[in-house]
Structure 1
Amino acid sequence: MDEKDNKQGPQRVDLERFRAVLQKRNIPTRFKVDKYTEDVPAMLRECYIAEVMRRRMQFIDDEATQNHIKKAAKWLTGNCKPGLLLFGTVGNGKSTLARAIGRLIEVLYESTYYDRRKTVRTVSALELADIAKNQPERFDSIKKAELLVIDDVGVEPAVVKVWGNEISPFTEIMYYRYDRVLWTLVTTNLDDEDFYKRYGPRLGDRFTEMFDRIAFENYSYRK
């Protein structure tokens, strides 16, 4: 280093510019509905009704259902967490709402242009365990899906054997999607205590960070 360099002193970084580069590279954009945002609650309601009718059930327009749809619509259109957890007792509309969300996205984003078409992958936790055991390539594609719904978490075997190795399919998928901040919707009958007992505090803590929650405390519609 010559005398001129010594007089100039050590080179310093522009921290504001450095921060801007980091934010641009390290903060993934979570998918959210950006079409007809004011009408999303009404459209989601129609998708919910259509799902109820598809199963030959009677749509019950009670306060609980209205609130669930409203909260889900807010999550779909807002700057919210990448995951949505629908939890509560059996038969009160969690899976119906999850399917309605999937239907809404697929209808809104039907397109001849591939980069705008959105497909929601939906799989039950029980089916996921079987896929992990017998169809590893399909399991990998589900794990990496842009938009994923996992239904009835907690009924699947906690561990399955794949080529002699024990794995926890749900836990593996959640770690993968947590690290990449991927859009994930989960339904479960487990409460917080049951979830921590089954999957452990490490995954439980990540769930707290990753998921917004909608509690389903109403009665079962199957009665």
Structure 2
Amino acid sequence: MDNPSKIIEGGVEYSLGEFDGKQVNYDFSKILIYLDAKGKLLFGKDFKIYKKDKALLLKLCSYFIRDKRSCEKHAIDLSKGILLSGPIGCGKTSIMKLLRHLVPRQRPYEMIPCRNVTFSFNHLGFKTIEDYGDSRFYCFDDLGVEPAGRFYGKDLNVMGEVLLSRYELYLDTRHKLKTHATTNLNAEELENRYGSRVRSRMRELFNLIAFEEHSQDKRR
């Protein structure tokens, strides 16, 4: 019988908890062992789980394994996506790339750098907005620091338009659509970048989960 509490990586079997035949009772300490091993496979032997990040990881893991009790405790809405914020180099992108592998049976999301979305708009125009306003699941990486969009002399806040499209689709699919993002900006900076209307929609699209303001730059 297929056991969803086990994942095999590099020929090694990792247990994430106990499977009772109906559901997995996850064990966070076992999840951390798996994430550390998978992180080393994805990003190299220097990858590690930092002790000071464990509280944040607990929230994120609770969301991805759909632990309703833990999510309620941390005021996380399972119908929304994740907006992971924190200073440059704290590991936001790596963590979102890594957590896709924790629940292989769930529908995966694509990691898309926001600058690539803008470059696509500059080349293809409004087709880009349509392309990302579809039913696929995305994590838009580095939201808020992408360049301005321009197509045939018309300037556009491209990611703002994409988020508005995603929000409309989120409503149309009765909150089944998932949009995630990472950002270095705080709430005030995001509002300055995208305006109050987009910021309001972002509150409805995302659970905000944030690294500590003074998290170390792990790339140094």
Query: Which residue in the other structure is 2:93 paired with?
Result: 95
Q: CA deviation at 1:145?
A: 3.8
Query: Which residue in the other structure is 2:218 paired with?
Result: 221
For the 8 Å contact 2:129–2:162, the answer to whether it is kept is no
Alpha-carbon distance between aligned partners in 1 of 2:47 and 2:23, rounded to the nearest angstrom: 24
Q: CA deviation at 1:44?
A: 7.1
Unaligned 5+ segments in structure 1 are: 1-34, 110-117
**What is the identity percentage for the equivalent residue pairs of Structure 1 and Structure 2?**
23
The residue identity in structure 1 corresponding to 2:219 is R
Alpha-carbon distance between aligned partners in 1 of 2:45 and 2:146, rounded to the nearest angstrom: 26
- TM-score between the two structures when normalised by the length of structure 2: 0.70
Larger relative contact order (C-alpha < 8 A, sep ≥ 6)? Answer: 1
Alpha-carbon distance between aligned partners in 1 of 2:27 and 2:191, rounded to the nearest angstrom: 34
CA offsets per residue over residues 75-107 of structure 1, 9 Å max, x none? 2214524121100101112111110122334x3
Alpha-carbon distance between aligned partners in 1 of 2:141 and 2:190, rounded to the nearest angstrom: 15
Alpha-carbon distance between aligned partners in 1 of 2:120 and 2:24, rounded to the nearest angstrom: 36
Unaligned 5+ segments in structure 2 are: 1-21, 69-76, 171-176
Match of 2:145 among 155, 178, 182: 155
Mean Cα displacement is larger for which, 186-195 or 78-87?
Answer: 78-87
Query: Which residue in the other structure is 1:22 paired with?
Result: none
The residue identity in structure 1 corresponding to 2:168 is D
Alpha-carbon distance between aligned partners in 1 of 2:202 and 2:141, rounded to the nearest angstrom: 16
Mapping of 1:53-202 within 5 angstroms?
Answer: 53-76=41-64, 77=66, 78=68, 79-105=77-103, 107-109=104-106, 118-135=107-124, 137=127, 140-157=130-147, 159-181=148-170, 182-202=177-197
For the 8 Å contact 1:90–1:220, the answer to whether it is kept is yes
Alpha-carbon distance between aligned partners in 2 of 1:124 and 1:131, rounded to the nearest angstrom: 11
Q: 1:51 aligns to what SS in structure 2?
A: helix
Alpha-carbon distance between aligned partners in 2 of 1:44 and 1:170, rounded to the nearest angstrom: 33
Between Structure 1 and Structure 2, the one with more helix by share is 1
Match of 2:39 among 51, 58, 83: 51
Q: CA deviation at 1:46?
A: 2.4
Q: CA deviation at 1:193?
A: 1.7
Between Structure 1 and Structure 2, the one with more strand by share is 2
Q: How many residues align?
A: 179
CA offsets per residue over residues 176-207 of structure 1, 9 Å max, x none? 11122221111010011211111111111222
Match of 2:25 among 31, 34, 38: 38
For the 8 Å contact 2:39–2:47, the answer to whether it is kept is no
Alpha-carbon distance between aligned partners in 1 of 2:87 and 2:50, rounded to the nearest angstrom: 17
Look at both structures and tell me which one has the larger radius of gyration over its CA atoms.
1
RMSD between aligned residues: 2.6
Query: Which residue in the other structure is 1:203 paired with?
Result: 198
Q: CA deviation at 1:138?
A: 5.8
